[in-house]
Amino acid sequence: MTLAWIGLGANLGDAAATVRAAIAALDALPDTRRCQASRLYATPAWGNEDQPPFVNAVASVETRLPAAGLLRAMLELERHFGRVRDPAVHWGPRALDLDLLLYGAQVLDEPGLQVPHPYLHERAFVLVPLAEIAPDLAIPGHGRVRDAVMRVDACGIAPIG
């Protein structure tokens, strides 16, 4: 089993309910079980700021799937929740976004799959929830999560509930 870390986010519809349901649905992925999840966080939009704020969280799973297989299962879960990927719209609104942040300690650079996620170390909306549940986790090439979160601007990020 490999321990993998998944970032979750949504900003369309009832985003908090969607993220909660997606966290629960991680247990239904093939050969995978959810281990832990952060609280939900309200976060400002990133990249394309002309859109509603997001709800973000991070969850860990143990899986027997290879990284590419886990990513395929995650993309199918996104589609189940109504995600339609439009290659012309980068960083736009979404019903659900799932990002494979880390897959064990592996470093992968394949077409369509980069692990660690290439922006993990600079995105507060992922680092804040990740630091809540795994502050000492190592991000290959970037040090511990607790140190990375200190280098980003977390202004506007707040736990929900």
In the annotation, is 153 catalytic?
A: no
Alpha helices in 50-123 (DSSP H): 67-80
Q: 27, 50, 85, 97: which is the annotated catalytic residue?
A: 97
In the annotation, is 85 catalytic?
A: no
Q: Which residue is associated with the tokens 């309910």?
A: 17
In the annotation, is 123 catalytic?
A: no
> Peptide bond preceding 140: is omega within 30 degrees of 0, i.e. cis?
no
Q: How far apart, in whole angstroms, are the C-alpha atoms of residue 118 and residue 116?
A: 6
Q: How far apart, in whole angstroms, are the C-alpha atoms of residue 8 and residue 66?
A: 20
Q: 20, 34, 94, 123: which is the annotated catalytic residue?
A: 94
Q: How far apart, in whole angstroms, are the C-alpha atoms of residue 75 and residue 73?
A: 5
* Distances, alpha carbon 56 to alpha carbons 17, 68, 70, in Å: 11, 23, 20
Joined together, the tokens standing for residue 126 give 């992922």
Q: 72, 99, 144, 147: which is the annotated catalytic residue?
A: 99
In the annotation, is 97 catalytic?
A: yes
- Percentages of the chain per state (helix, strand, coil), in multiples of 5: 30, 30, 40
The catalytic residue positions are 83, 94, 97, 99
